[in-house]
Amino acid sequence: MRTTLEKIEQFKNVDISAKRIDETNINSVFHFHPEMELTYIESSFGRRVVGDCSSIYKPGDLVLLGSNLPHCWINSTNAENQSAKCRAIVIHFGPSLFKIAGLQDIFQVLENSNRGLQLNGNLLSEVESIIKKMPDFTSIDLFKALLDILHLISKSSELQPLATENFRRYSHNAKNEILHRIHQYIAQNLTDDLSVSDAAAISNMSLSAFCHFFKRTTSLSFSEYVNEQRIGYASRLLTESNLNISQICYESGFKTLSYFNRRFKEIKGVPPNEFRSTGN
C-alpha cells in the first residue's frame, strides 16, 4: 500500500487550473502532488482523508491542501446517498506562484497548508462565492480570484488544521514513505479492524521494530494513535450527524460502547453525550 504521485495534466502550460468534477463517485486513491489544491464539494457525502486526519465531509466542504500532502475523498455507501452525483470544484496551483515580495501573509498561509486547512464560518461563505465562478475564468481572472481567496484566508481565524503536527513533521519532504504507508493503512481501515501486526508487515518490519519506530516517531503507541484518530472521527459525527451515540461508537470502529465511552472521555475530557450537548 503506497501513496500515489498524481500528475496534474493541466500543469503542462499553465500555473493555475480550475475544473468542475461531475461524476458518479469520487472514491480517489490516497495520492499526493506537488501542486497545491483547493477543493470545494458541491454535492457528495462521505469521508475525507488528509494526511493522518479522517473526517466526514458533506456539501459545502472546502479545504486548502499543501504541496505533497496525501489526501483522498471516499464516498458514503449509505443507500440514501448511493445515487447522489458528486459535484466539486478543484483548483490546482504551483506552490511558488505567490512566494514573492510583499505577500508575506499569503506565504504564511501556504506554509500552514502543509497540514491541510478546512475553511469555516464567514470565511467559507466568502470564498464559496468566488470559487464557484472560477472554472469559467480566463487565466488573468483566475489568478486574481485565487489571490483574493488566499488574502481572505490569511486574514481569517476561521480555519481548522487537519493533519497532526506529527504528520507534518514526517512529510514527503522528509522522504519517510514508511509512515505514509502506515497512515494510509489506518485511514483506509479506520472504521474496520486494524492490526498492529498488519501495520508492521506493511512497513516490512518485525513487530518489535515497528512498535519502537512508531512510538519514536509519533510519541504514541499504535493503539493509542488509532484511538485518537477514531475519537476524532467520532467527534465530527457527534457534531455533524444525527446518529445516536451507540451508532457512532460502531461507525467509528469501536467494538463496545463501554470502551468507546472510556476512551472518548480520556481523550476529550468529557463523555460523548456531554460533548454533543455542549457543541464542542
Residues 32 and 105 in one domain: yes
In this structure, the answer to whether residues 135 and 232 fall within a common structural domain is no
In tens, the pLDDT along 47-57 reads: 888 887 878 88
Q: Of the given ranges (153-162, 208-217, 250-259), which has the lowest mean pLDDT? A: 208-217
Q: CA dist 92 to 6, 16, 243, Å?
A: 12, 6, 35
In a domain, 124, yes or no: yes
Three-state secondary structure of the chain: CCCEECCCHHHHCCCEEEEEEEECCCCCCCEECCCEEEEEEEECCEEEEECCEEEEECCCCEEEECCCCCEEEEECCCHHHCCCCEEEEEEEECCCCCCCCCCHHHHHHHHHHHHCEEECHHHHHHHHHHHCCHHHCCHHHHHHHHHHHHHHHHCCCCEEECCCHHHHHCCHHHCCHHHHHHHHHHHHCCCCCCCHHHHHHHCCCCHHHHHHHHHHHHCCCHHHHHHHHHHHHHHHHHHHCCCCHHHHHHHCCCCCHHHHHHHHHHHHCCCHHHHHHHCC
What CATH number is associated with residue 15?
2.60.120.280
Are residues 142 and 210 both part of a single domain?
no
Together in a domain, 115 and 13: yes
Q: Are residues 25 and 65 in the same domain?
A: yes
Is position 183 within any domain?
Answer: no
Residue 1 has pLDDT above 50, yes or no: no
Residue 182 lies in a domain: no
Regarding whether 125 and 23 lie in a shared domain, the answer is yes
Report yes or no on 172 lying in a domain.
no
User: Same structural domain for residues 241 and 151?
Assistant: no
The predicted pLDDT at position 84 comes to 58
Report the mean per-residue pLDDT for the chain: 83
Domain span including residue 268: 189-278
Higher pLDDT, residue 258 or 179: 258
67-115 tens-digit pLDDT: 888 888 877 755 444 445 788 999 999 877 777 766 778 888 888 898 9
Determine the Cα–Cα distance for residues 183 and 115; give it in Å rounded to an integer: 14
Task: Answer yes or no: are the C-beta atoms of 146 and 16 closer than 8 Å.
Answer: yes
Answer yes or no: pTM beyond 0.85.
no
Q: How many percent of the chain have pLDDT more than 90? A: 42
Pair (155, 246) in one structural domain: no
Residues 200 and 127 placed together within one structural domain of the fold:
no
Give the per-residue pLDDT at 164.
79
Report the number of distinct structural domains present in the chain. 2
Residues in the chain: 280
